[in-house]
Amino acid sequence: MGLDVSEAMLQRAVRDNADDRRVAYVRGSALDVPFADGAFDTVACLAALYLIPAPRIAVREICRVTKPGGRVALFTSLQTPLTSVLGSSTAERVSGFRWFGKDEITGWLREYGLVDVQQTISGQGQFVTARKPQ
């Protein structure tokens, strides 16, 4: 199941994955995910949290729809000395793009009860995985 708020992006995803009958797409907001608690074995959110206006709520929703024993995988931005320079750009202010502090995403995951939180840093990006306890 793929979720996105943008119809154009969903149309593109459907086109690109037309041969894959295992996947379906739903239009909706990451801030109010239209699925029941514990609906998914694994929830991945790649390259989107930094564009979402209330990313902490999105992380809470991700944790909510992950089933007990399930896993979460996130890829997003990371604040570094370089991003302090980039962060002052007009482009960032206009686009709403956000750089996350090193412990921000991992801290939210722990706060929402996830365990085995692991963070891999690569330049200005971070890949974070975690598990929801049974």
Ligand X SMILES: C[S@@+](CC[C@H](N)C(=O)[O-])C[C@H]1O[C@@H](n2cnc3c(N)ncnc32)[C@H](O)[C@@H]1O
Q: Which is nearer to ligand X, 6 or 95 (CB)?
A: 6
Span between the terminal Cα atoms of the chain, in Å = 22
Which of 92, 79, 87 lies closest to 124, judged by CA?
79
Q: Which is nearer to ligand X, 52 or 128 (CB)?
A: 52
- CA distances (Å), origin 45, targets 48, 51, 93: 6, 12, 23
Q: How near is the Cβ of 133 to ligand X at its closest, in Å?
A: 26
Q: How near is the Cβ of 93 to ligand X at its closest, in Å?
A: 17
Q: Which is nearer to ligand X, 77 or 106 (CB)?
A: 77
Q: How near is the Cβ of 119 to ligand X at its closest, in Å?
A: 19
Is the Cβ–Cβ distance between 3 and 44 less than 8 Å? no
Contact set with ligand X (CB under 6 A): 4-6, 9, 29-31, 46-48, 51-52
